[in-house]
Amino acid sequence: MAAKVISGKEVAAEIRKELTVQVAELKEKGIVPGLGVVLVGEDPASVSYVTSKAKGCQEIGMFEETVKLAKDTAEEDVLKVIDRMNHDPKISGILVQLPLPAHISVEKVIGFISPEKDVDGFHPVNLGKLLRGEECPLPCTPHGVKQLLVRSGNDPAGKHVVICGRSNIVGKPLAAILMQKAAGANAVVTVVHTGAKDIKHYTLQADILVAAMGIPHAITADMVKEGTVVVDVGVNRVPDDTKKSGFRLAGDVDYEPIAEKASFITPVPGGVGPMTVTMLLYNTVEAAIRLNQA
């Protein structure tokens, strides 16, 4: 079987088109969704993520403000910026770009964002709501995985989803999303991690297999049964002398042989990656709507 490729680029473009229409309609009602981004330091990857978030906002007609702070900015000064954004009616969603310099507590910073404006969905209040099945912003990367599945005709309902990885930003929230008794979820979920004695034992049982381990090509073809839907969250740099940069991006899945067995597969790059920023835009629009209903 040759797998159908689920293009994150195409699904993301479809969602951004929907958001552009929604933002225009909101503006007619006097509501302008706005994203506030806080960047501390000049880590090149973070600068590039922040730039693509700002560009995404502009593309769909949203307001955007990026505050760039020096890497030695005191924690209390970062909190002051968040406090200002918490109270700014032009800002419906706040995103603090991670990682933060070591002298700043990530927990403190995330906990300081107003839960109503927490568009990353990482605030403990929102993670609690997620687990309880209450309305809340869904963390962006797992939300993107759900959208890729549903919009490619692979509704997880009643399926066995095996997630490899239990990080707070991908594996755990994805498990919480897909196990809910809700539309586009209602799956039987297994989460594997380094505590599993034999992950192949579990991956071979998957109807939908999600790899989020951060290890290039950790999932090999012998670990996947025929017809599985394979979602590769991994983005890993592997050395490649043929590239000017000296590296290329590789997923957690050994793509070519697995594409021969899977029914659907996401590529890297161009799979889950483009969905993350798009779901951030989605969460910001939803936050603007909720704030104006309050």
- Contacting positions for ligand NAP (CB under 6 A): 141, 164-167, 169-171, 192-196, 199, 212-215, 218, 233-236, 272-273, 276
Q: Read off the tokens for 104.
A: 């700043």
For 162, phi then psi, to 5°, come to -110, 120
Query: What is the identity of the amino acid at 229?
Result: V
Active site residue 232: no
| Residue among 284, 288, 285 nearest 119 (CA) | 284
Active site residue 53: yes
- 14 versus 83: smaller Cβ distance to ligand NAP: 14
Q: What CA–CA distance (Å, rounded) separates 29 from 32?
A: 9
Question: Minimum distance between the CB of residue 276 and ligand NAP, rounded to whole angstroms?
Answer: 4
Which residue among the candidates 22, 117, 118, 120 is catalytic per the annotation?
A: 120
- 126 versus 141: smaller Cβ distance to ligand NAP: 141
Question: Minimum distance between the CB of residue 253 and ligand NAP, rounded to whole angstroms?
Answer: 11
Question: Minimum distance between the CB of residue 272 and ligand NAP, rounded to whole angstroms?
Answer: 4
For 88, phi then psi, to 5°, come to -85, 115
- 79 versus 98: smaller Cβ distance to ligand NAP: 98
Question: Minimum distance between the CB of residue 274 and ligand NAP, rounded to whole angstroms?
Answer: 8
- 275 versus 288: smaller Cβ distance to ligand NAP: 275
Q: Where are the alpha helices (DSSP H) in the chain?
A: 8-28, 44-60, 75-87, 106-112, 124-132, 140-151, 171-178, 199-203, 255-259, 273-293
Active site residue 120: yes
Contact 190, 160 (CB under 8 A): yes
Q: What CA–CA distance (Å, rounded) separates 87 from 90?
A: 9
Which residue lies nearest ligand NAP, judged by its C-beta?
167
Residues designated catalytic: 53, 97, 120
